[in-house]
């Protein structure tokens, strides 16, 4: 069985095409950004956001180490993602990933929050292509994590099944609040 990270990437590589524009809504140390950068290739673009300068710097360094030049790094909340999307992208975003929680080995009080995450999800859903996916990797063991988890689950469970398929993937016998995936696919 695929691990959470491997399955989140698998869900993206199934639907993202070279040349597309895609979003890493929480770039952190840049691992997902790098993965997306390779998927969309030299004619594609990754828009990668984070609210911490440290995260933007770490991602920038990782991308330079791998000679990736197709990423726009944005120091801002994903709640403001609409400011970085041009009209032509409506219906054309290939996919997006959110890796929730805090930056590993950093300040555990700077975390993603339910309301801004939901706002970003809603904006990206508008811009997503048909068949495109938003992947959420939900970590909730930290302070505030449970609350964010509940806000997100309530929201994605209310998405109309005529327009979206919503999947949950996770290991139900793991201890200590194991992360799980929510994947939303636009019909």
Ligand X SMILES: C[S@@+](CC[C@H](N)C(=O)[O-])C[C@H]1O[C@@H](n2cnc3c(N)ncnc32)[C@H](O)[C@@H]1O
Binding region for ligand X (CB under 6 A) = 26-32, 49-52, 55, 77-79, 99, 101-103, 110-112, 116
What one-character DSSP code corresponds to residue 122?
A: H
- Cβ 102 to ligand X shortest distance, Å: 6
- Cβ 52 to ligand X shortest distance, Å: 4
Of 181, 74, 80, nearest to 122 by C-alpha is 80
- Cβ 5 to ligand X shortest distance, Å: 8
From CA 48, how far away is CA 141, in angstroms rounded? 24
Smaller CB separation from ligand X, 91 or 104: 104
DSSP string covering 45-111: EEEEEES-HHHHHHHHHHHHHTT---EEEEES-GGGGGGG--GGGTTTEEEEEEE-SB-TTS-TT-B
Smaller CB separation from ligand X, 16 or 49: 49
Smaller CB separation from ligand X, 77 or 185: 77
Residue least distant from ligand X (Cβ): 28
């Amino acid at each position: 069985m695929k691990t959470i990270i491997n399955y989140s990437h698998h869900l993206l590589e199934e639907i993202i095409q070279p040349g597309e524009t895609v979003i890493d809504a929480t770039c952190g140390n840049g691992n997902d950004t790098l993965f997306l950068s390779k998927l969309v290739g030299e004619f594609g673009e990754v828009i990668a956001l984070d609210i911490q300068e440290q995260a933007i710097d770490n991602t920038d360094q990782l991308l330079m180490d791998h000679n990736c030049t197709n990423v726009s790094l944005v120091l801002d909340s994903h709640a403001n993602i609409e400011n970085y999307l041009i009209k032509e992208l409506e219906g054309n975003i290939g996919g997006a990933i959110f890796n929730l929680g805090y930056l590993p080995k950093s300040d555990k009080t700077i975390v993603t929050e339910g309301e801004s995450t939901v706002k970003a999800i809603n904006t990206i859903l508008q811009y997503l292509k048909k068949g495109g996916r938003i992947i959420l990797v939900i970590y909730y063991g930290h302070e505030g994590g449970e609350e964010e988890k509940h806000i997100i689950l309530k929201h994605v469970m209310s998405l109309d099944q005529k327009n979206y398929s919503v999947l949950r993937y996770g290991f139900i016998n793991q201890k200590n609040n194991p992360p799980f995936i929510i994947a939303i696919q636009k019909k």
